[in-house]
């Protein structure tokens, strides 16, 4: 067993992790970026400090920073216990140990918390949720979704995944999703049918290896663009 969670938990990643998870280049980072389901990631805070344009959407932003931090502290021990109980299911190259992983997650959420109120006032943290987003068509160049779609395949069905990705493609010309494994380290059962449906609609799709792996075998992302395939 790798991980058993009943609901989505606030476990945020850093800018450097986003860069590696999504193969983000300097050109990518200079585009209009949307993080879908970012939760308490420090991605937005760190990117903003570097002058990049990032908007994060998540239903968790209806809560205060104190409430989000409290929720993190409520779930982190359970998550770390499960990870420590299944050491062979994880790759300790980026994070060097379970304790290092915990330290990095604590650092990320505190960076987020320190930026949260300013970011909300600036419109960088927006209360919104898949499968329907309030953003206008093609507002962004690149939308990324970290550790939500496909990961929580048991909690969200095929239709939710398809509609969510279609919605992300409505607001952005390119979408990248990581990982494509479930919490149980299995390739999502929704992946192939979702890819087939999107391909049938004319979208371009590719699975790409990335230089980030924590779940063993979880080093691929799905890339989708709204460009039509050439006949």
CB atoms inside a 10 Å sphere around CB 179: 26
Q: Which residue's entry shows tokens 């952005």? A: 172
pLDDT at 226 over 50: yes
Instruction: Tell me if 121 sits within 8 A of 53, measured CB to CB.
Output: no
CA proximity to 43, closest of 112, 110, 118, 130: 112
- The CATH code of the domain at 15-225 is 3.40.50.150
pLDDT at 9 over 80: no
pLDDT of residue 227: 64
pLDDT of residue 7: 53
pLDDT of residue 2: 47
pLDDT of residue 88: 87
Report the alpha-carbon distance of residue 114 to residue 22 in Å, rounded. 25
pLDDT of residue 6: 45
Of how many residues is the chain composed? 231
Tell me what the mean pLDDT of segment 173-177 comes to: 97
Please write the tens of the pLDDT for every residue from 50-69: 999 999 999 999 999 999 99
Average pLDDT, the chain: 93
3-class DSSP assignment, residue 9: coil
């Amino acid at each position: 067993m790798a991980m058993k969670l009943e609901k989505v938990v606030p476990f945020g990643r850093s800018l450097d992790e986003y860069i590696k998870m999504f193969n983000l280049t300097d050109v990518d980072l200079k585009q209009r970026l949307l993080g879908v389901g970012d939760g308490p990631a420090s991605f937005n805070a760190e990117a903003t400090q570097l002058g990049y344009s990032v908007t994060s959407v998540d239903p968790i932003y209806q809560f205060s920073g104190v409430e989000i931090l409290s929720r993190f502290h409520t779930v982190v021990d359970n998550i770390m216990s499960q990870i420590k109980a299944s050491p062979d299911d994880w790759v300790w190259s980026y994070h060097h140990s379970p304790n290092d992983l915990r330290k990095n997650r604590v650092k990320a959420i505190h960076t987020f918390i320190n930026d949260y109120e300013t970011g909300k006032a600036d419109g960088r943290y927006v209360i919104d949720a898949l499968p329907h987003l309030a953003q206008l068509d093609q507002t962004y160049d690149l939308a990324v979704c970290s550790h939500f779609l496909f990961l929580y395949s048991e909690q969200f069905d095929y239709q939710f995944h398809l509609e969510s990705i279609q919605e992300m493609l409505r607001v952005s010309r390119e979408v990248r999703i990581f990982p494509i494994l479930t919490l149980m380290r299995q390739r999502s059962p929704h992946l192939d049918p979702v890819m087939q449906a999107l391909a049938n609609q004319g979208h371009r799709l590719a699975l790409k290896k990335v230089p980030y792996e924590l779940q063993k075998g979880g080093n691929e992302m799905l890339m989708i663009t709204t460009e039509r395939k050439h006949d």
